[in-house]
């Protein structure tokens, strides 16, 4: 009885601490682009750049960049909150794994080809029981990251194959910069970015993989990553295979 009470209190403290950390990270993440946005607009409005149109342009571009970052951040936080609270009810139905991979590759095609990055899909026949739109969101995030962290003229391999009797394993593998082993276990946490300069240089909020993990856990699946620095990263996730209805 006493042991249980102690455990309950420490669990409550842990949740409180997580909440505090979350709020302080969110405030920081919001304040930085907002202050920068305010500074750019202040400079433009003061008129001190009126005779320097190129500088003025630069300030407007910075303001737009910071606005975009804020929009991404708010969207990610809202999505994350809904998923975490189970407010995004899953509409699960049998979906062909290869269809999901093809649709995700189509969506990323333009961005990838601009960066001279190509896709190869290698999928064995597999049907998963899943909410297709949510899994597409996961694949978009993984492929988006793969494109973001890969140099030109490289290949991204997309795969799916049955894993054991009741699961299907999906793969997104790139030939990009890789992830150091000490970072690998943290990238699925909220607001974790491998490198503090990533968000400014490459866009992103550090919520993408945390969102992927929540979506997959809600499906009864798992997600993990393997990587060799300088050679590439491989993200793998599992989903329950649909029970055939013959």
Q: How many CB atoms are closer than 10 A to CB 75?
A: 12
The alpha carbon of residue 89 and the mean position of all alpha carbons in its chain are separated, in whole angstroms, by 20
- Considering only 40, 66, 214, 233, the residue that binds ligand ADP (CB under 6 A) is 233
Residue 206 makes contact with Mg ion by CB under 5 A = no
Contacts of 20 (CB under 8 A, 6+ apart): none
| Residues in binding contact with ligand ADP, number by CB under 6 A | 22
Closest CA to 141 of 68, 66, 80: 80
Residues numbered 41-100 forming contacts with Mg ion, rule: CB under 5 A: none
Q: How far is the CB of 54 from ligand ADP (least distance, A)?
A: 30
Tell me which stretch binds ligand ADP (CB under 6 A): 12-20, 35-43, 44-52, 140-148: 140-148
For residues 232 and 242, what is the distance between their CA atoms, to the nearest angstrom? 31
Residue 223 makes contact with ligand ADP by CB under 6 A = no
- The secondary element (H helix, E strand) that includes residue 113 is helix 97-114
Contact 205, 191 (CB under 8 A): yes
The structure tokens listed for 236 are 């793998």
* Neighbour order of strands in the sheet with 167-173: 117-123, 154-163, 167-173, 232-240, 223-228
Task: Considering the complex, state which of residue 159 and residue 208 has its C-beta at the smaller distance from ligand ADP.
Answer: 208
Contact 172, 235 (CB under 8 A): yes
Residue 208 makes contact with Mg ion by CB under 5 A = yes
Q: Binding mask 164-193 vs ligand ADP (x if CB under 6 A, - otherwise)? A: ----------x-xx-x-------x----xx
- Considering only 134, 204, 219, 239, the residue that binds ligand ADP (CB under 6 A) is 204
Q: How far is the CB of 205 from ligand ADP (least distance, A)?
A: 5
Closest CA to 98 of 154, 156, 170, 174: 170
- The secondary element (H helix, E strand) that includes residue 181 is helix 181-184
Task: Considering the complex, state which of residue 126 and residue 144 has its C-beta at the smaller distance from Mg ion.
Answer: 144
Task: Considering the complex, state which of residue 206 and residue 221 has its C-beta at the smaller distance from ligand ADP.
Answer: 206
Task: Considering the complex, state which of residue 221 and residue 232 has its C-beta at the smaller distance from ligand ADP.
Answer: 232
Residue 205 makes contact with ligand ADP by CB under 6 A = yes
Q: Site residues (CB under 5 A) for Mg ion?
A: 145, 204, 208
Q: Site residues (CB under 6 A) for ligand ADP?
A: 141, 145-146, 149, 174, 176-177, 179, 187, 192-195, 198-199, 204-209, 233
């Amino acid at each position: 009885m006493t042991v249980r009470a102690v455990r309950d209190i420490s669990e409550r403290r842990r949740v409180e601490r997580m909440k505090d950390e979350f709020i302080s990270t969110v405030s920081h993440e919001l304040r930085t682009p907002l202050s920068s946005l305010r500074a750019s607009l202040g400079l433009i409005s003061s008129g001190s750049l009126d005779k320097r149109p190129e500088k003025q342009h630069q300030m407007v571009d910075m303001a737009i960049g910071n606005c975009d970052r804020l929009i991404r951040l708010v969207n990610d936080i809202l999505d994350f909150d809904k998923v975490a609270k189970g407010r995004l009810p899953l509409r699960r139905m049998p979906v062909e794994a290869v269809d999901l991979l093809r649709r995700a590759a189509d969506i990323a095609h333009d961005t990838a080809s601009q960066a001279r990055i190509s896709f190869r899909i290698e999928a064995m026949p597999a049907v998963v029981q899943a909410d297709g739109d949510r899994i597409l969101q996961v694949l978009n995030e993984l492929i988006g990251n793969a494109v973001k962290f890969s140099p030109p003229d490289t290949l991204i391999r997309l795969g799916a194959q049955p894993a054991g009797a009741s699961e299907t394993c999906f793969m997104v593998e790139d030939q990009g910069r890789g992830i150091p082993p000490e970072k690998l276990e943290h990238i699925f946490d909220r607001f974790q970015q491998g490198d503090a300069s990533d968000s400014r240089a490459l866009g992103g909020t550090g919520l993408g993989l945390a969102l992927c993990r929540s979506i997959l856990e809600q499906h009864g699946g798992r997600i993990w990553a393997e990587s060799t620095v300088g050679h590439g990263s491989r993200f793998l996730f599992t989903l329950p295979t649909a029970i055939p209805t013959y």
